[in-house]
Structure 1
Amino acid sequence: MDPDAGVIFARTATGAAVALGLLKCGRIWLCPVCSAKIRHGRAEEITEAVVSWLRQGGTAYLVTFTARHTAADRLSDLMDAIQGTRANEEAGTKRRPGAYQRLITGAAWAGDKRRKSNQEGIRGRIGYIGMIRATEVTVGEGAGWHPHIHAIVLVGGRTEGQRGDKRITGTFTPSEDALTEWEDRWRAVWTRHLAQVDPGFRPTDRCAIPGCECGGKGHGVDFKQLRTERDAKDLGEYIAKTQDGKNPALELARGDLKGGRQGNMTPFELLGRVGDLMGGVPEEEAAGHGSLAWGLERWAEYETAVSGRRAIEWTRYLRPLLGLTGGDTEDDDMDVLFQMDAADGFRDGVQIWDKAWSGLVGRSLDLAVVEAVEGREISLDVLGDLVQSAGQSRAFLRVLSPPEVAELYDALLGTLARRRELAAERRKAEAAD
């Protein structure tokens, strides 16, 4: 990030080493390291939103959307069907909405001022204020690709104003009739749109695909209400940050933690198997399933299908409506990454100047540096030996106190902000040309 500052390895309160001076890719779909941090930060953000809403007296649902699929279906086709297509300026094609976008359009949903019987629409009758959507993908040799959407939907709100000026004025409990109308509407819209895109994607009540994640229950739309005030206050079964699949925030955000069911693999499990097989691990000993050729083909297909898509997305204006800041862009993901780096606080650290770091990386000693930092005390002797073995001087090392780490970290964040500003100006100039 800053050649003059070099690389700073800070030691957190838990003893872990965090590299603060290195740029990160921030690719939530493709990088196991960045994905884990971004998703963890997003899970905390989602938990805060849901807890806040339930404490205000609102109601929340975890809604899961799935489509029927076979091993012959392409992931890009399934993603287009549920998430919509992406715009392509070079080809002159516009973005086409998927089944997800269809859920919150139309007079039945939004209301019709010309019809007295449906002035407020389903949206008004349930008090819909917005939702948070996360898309996940698994794959298996038998069942093929299984993309699905988890959404936490917040309802029971009274609001005034429009768009960015909207504000919450109160909460209420939607009637059973209104909730049933909502569920029936979303199931019908989801099913109808998928059938129009491809009859083979039409959800069914029962699934006959061996090894499919649904466990034979079929595909479509599933509603689970997040019920109690205790859940919100204690961060318990529904809200707490557990990793056993019971927490809606982690169910939504932490796709990197999940193992595929019934023989399916998450993308990072697939990537791990590819790495094992490329490293010489026998097929029968490597975790997961599938040949190396099959795994490489699936990973390449996955990269193409998720490119340019958002993994986690909030309804526009929902954050400020709940009193939260932030956004869903790649820059926002980078902010989450750096926030997670500093989440546990810094005890101390070591600064390695740019020339020495280049030598260490060139000899694949970066992991050894991490191990030397993670301990009861930072081992300057070990680090010095490593730098010398890379042909550099021990003078390129400096142990840092907690205030020094914080000062250098703030400077690095300033460098990142300036780079963003320059990049934005460059893009603006290129667009003008």
Structure 2
Amino acid sequence: MDPDSGVILAQTAEGTAVALGLLRCGKIWFCPVCSAKIRHGRAEEITTAAVSWMERKGSAYLVTFTARHAAAHKLADLMDAIQGTRADKDKGTSRKPGAYQRLITGAAWAGDERRAANPEGVRGRVGYVGMIRATEITVSQENGWHPHIHAIVFVGGALASTLDGKKTVGDTFEPSPEALKELEDHFRAVWTRHLAKVDPAFTPSDEHGVDFKRLETARDAEDFGRYVAKIQDGHKSVSPANELARGDLKRGRHGNMTPFQMLGRIGDLMGGVLEDDVDGHGDLSWCLGKWAEYETAVSGRRAIEWTRHLRPLLGLVGGDTEDDDADLLFTEDGASEFRAGVQVETRAWHKVTGRALDLAATEAVEGHGLDLDAVAEVVTLAGASAASVRLLTPGEIAEAWESTLAKLAERREAAAARRKIER
């Protein structure tokens, strides 16, 4: 991030090591390292939103949307059906909505003030405020790709407009059982109808197509935040929030693999481990083919997305773009309390990574006591001078990190100005 500052290997209060000053790819779909950090941050954000809304006496629901799928179906086709197609400037095609977008469009949903029978629509009667959507994907040899959407739907809010035209939430209320039933019926009908129109084979069953679960307490909302983040480490107690955000750590059920589980299998098989000794299923050729299909199908799509205007309505800031994900990565990097660290000069760090010793250097910083000689030994083994490693105090770590972020912000502003001139 800053050639003058190099890399800082910092030790947290818990004894873990964090590498500060390195740019991240920020690929939530493709990188297990970046995905874990981004999804963790998103899960915290989702939990804050859900808890805040419930404390205001609003209501929230976890809704899961699923399409029927088979081994012969292409992931791209399924993603287009549920998430919509992407615009292609080269082909001159515009974006087309998927089943998800259809849920919150049309006269039945939005109402029509000119029609006395339905002036406010389902949206008004239930007090719809917005939703947070997270798309999850698993795959198996028997049933093929299984993309599905988890969403938190916020209802029970009376929306109003300020003098400058911005939306705001006035009072909250408890939607009637009839209105909630209408919401559920509307989602089921629209979701099923759109998928059937795209491909009759995608038509889900009444039992599995759309599933509603109400969050009853603030604790439910907190659990949902973790559930959305997908802390899927083999434990059965998965919270709802992690179900939405943490697709990076989830392990598929009933023989299904998540993409990162499949990626791990690819790595083990390429390393010579026997198929039967590796988690998951499928030979190397099958896994590589599925991973390539996965890359093409999800590239350019949002993994986690908020309804427009929902963040400010709930008193939150931020966004869902790749730049927002990058900012979240930097926030996560500097969120810990540091008690010690070392600074490695840029040229020395390039030699460390050139010899694939960056993990060894990071591990040398972990533990309850930082051993400067151990880090210097790794750097020396890489062919650099031990003098290129300097011990840092917690205050120096914070100062160096703030300086690096400031210089990064300056470069971003300069790049934005250049792009503006070019346009």
TM bracket (short chain): over 0.9
Tell me, which stretches of 5 or more residues in structure 1 are unaligned?
A: 206-217
Tell me which residue corresponds to 2:97. Answer: 97
**Structure 2 matches for 1:218-237, cutoff 5 A?**
219-229=208-218, 231=220, 235=222
Check conservation: 1:152, 1:248, Cα contact below 8 A: no
Q: Name the CA distance, whole Å, in 1 between partners of 2:418 and 2:239.
A: 42
Tell me which residue corresponds to 2:205. Answer: 204
2:114 corresponds to 1:114: yes
Once the two structures are TM-superposed, the CA of residue 416 in structure 1 deviates from its matched residue by: 2.2
SS at match of 1:399: strand
Q: Name the CA distance, whole Å, in 2 between partners of 1:110 and 1:160.
A: 15
2:272 corresponds to 1:284: no
Tell me which residue corresponds to 1:212. Answer: none
Tell me which residue corresponds to 2:58. Answer: 58
Tell me which residue corresponds to 1:215. Answer: none
Letter in 2 for 1:224: K
Q: Deviations over 1:407-427 (max 9, x none)?
A: 111111112222322332333
SS at match of 1:375: coil
SS at match of 1:11: strand
- Please point out which of 248, 256, 259 is paired with 2:251: 259
Check conservation: 1:151, 1:252, Cα contact below 8 A: yes
Identity of aligned residues (%): 65
Tell me which residue corresponds to 2:67. Answer: 67
Q: Name the CA distance, whole Å, in 1 between partners of 2:181 and 2:3.
A: 60
Q: Name the CA distance, whole Å, in 2 between partners of 1:133 and 1:429.
A: 36
Q: Name the CA distance, whole Å, in 2 between partners of 1:317 and 1:267.
A: 31
Check conservation: 2:224, 2:244, Cα contact below 8 A: no
Structure 1 residues 230 and 306: CA distance shift in structure 2, 3 A: closer
TM-score by length of 1: 0.93
Once the two structures are TM-superposed, the CA of residue 182 in structure 1 deviates from its matched residue by: 1.0
Once the two structures are TM-superposed, the CA of residue 240 in structure 1 deviates from its matched residue by: 6.2
Q: Name the CA distance, whole Å, in 1 between partners of 2:225 and 2:415.
A: 38
Q: Name the CA distance, whole Å, in 1 between partners of 2:309 and 2:237.
A: 28
Tell me which residue corresponds to 2:323. Answer: 331
Tell me which residue corresponds to 2:131. Answer: 131
Once the two structures are TM-superposed, the CA of residue 238 in structure 1 deviates from its matched residue by: 5.0
TM-score by length of 2: 0.95
Q: Calculate the aligned-residue CA RMSD, in Å.
A: 1.6
Q: Deviations over 1:351-410 (max 9, x none)?
A: 000111111111121111011100222111112222222222111111111111001111
Once the two structures are TM-superposed, the CA of residue 105 in structure 1 deviates from its matched residue by: 0.3
Q: Deviations over 1:62-93 (max 9, x none)?
A: 00000001000000000000000000111110
Instruction: Give aligned pairs, total.
Output: 416
2:378 corresponds to 1:375: no
Once the two structures are TM-superposed, the CA of residue 21 in structure 1 deviates from its matched residue by: 1.2
- Please point out which of 338, 341, 346 is paired with 1:346: 338
SS at match of 1:373: coil
Once the two structures are TM-superposed, the CA of residue 16 in structure 1 deviates from its matched residue by: 1.1
Once the two structures are TM-superposed, the CA of residue 226 in structure 1 deviates from its matched residue by: 0.5
Say which is worse superposed, 100-109 or 196-205, in terms of deviation: 196-205
Q: Name the CA distance, whole Å, in 2 between partners of 1:231 and 1:287.
A: 32
Q: Name the CA distance, whole Å, in 1 between partners of 2:166 and 2:241.
A: 27
Q: Deviations over 1:219-253 (max 9, x none)?
A: 31111011135645xx4x55667944542211100
Tell me which residue corresponds to 1:193. Answer: 194
Tell me which residue corresponds to 1:209. Answer: none
Q: Name the CA distance, whole Å, in 2 between partners of 1:418 and 1:80.
A: 38
Structure 1 residues 297 and 378: CA distance shift in structure 2, 3 A: same
Q: Deviations over 1:254-309 (max 9, x none)?
A: 11121101100000000000000000001111110001000000000000000000
Tell me which residue corresponds to 1:210. Answer: none
- Please point out which of 376, 382, 386 is paired with 2:378: 386
SS at match of 2:364: helix
- Please point out which of 409, 417, 421 is paired with 1:417: 409
Check conservation: 2:103, 2:187, Cα contact below 8 A: yes
Tell me which residue corresponds to 1:211. Answer: none
Q: Name the CA distance, whole Å, in 1 between partners of 2:18 and 2:165.
A: 37
Tell me which residue corresponds to 1:14. Answer: 14
Q: Name the CA distance, whole Å, in 1 between partners of 2:321 and 2:226.
A: 26
SS at match of 2:276: coil
Q: Name the CA distance, whole Å, in 1 between partners of 2:394 and 2:271.
A: 40
2:168 corresponds to 1:167: yes
2:149 corresponds to 1:149: yes
Structure 1 residues 80 and 239: CA distance shift in structure 2, 3 A: closer
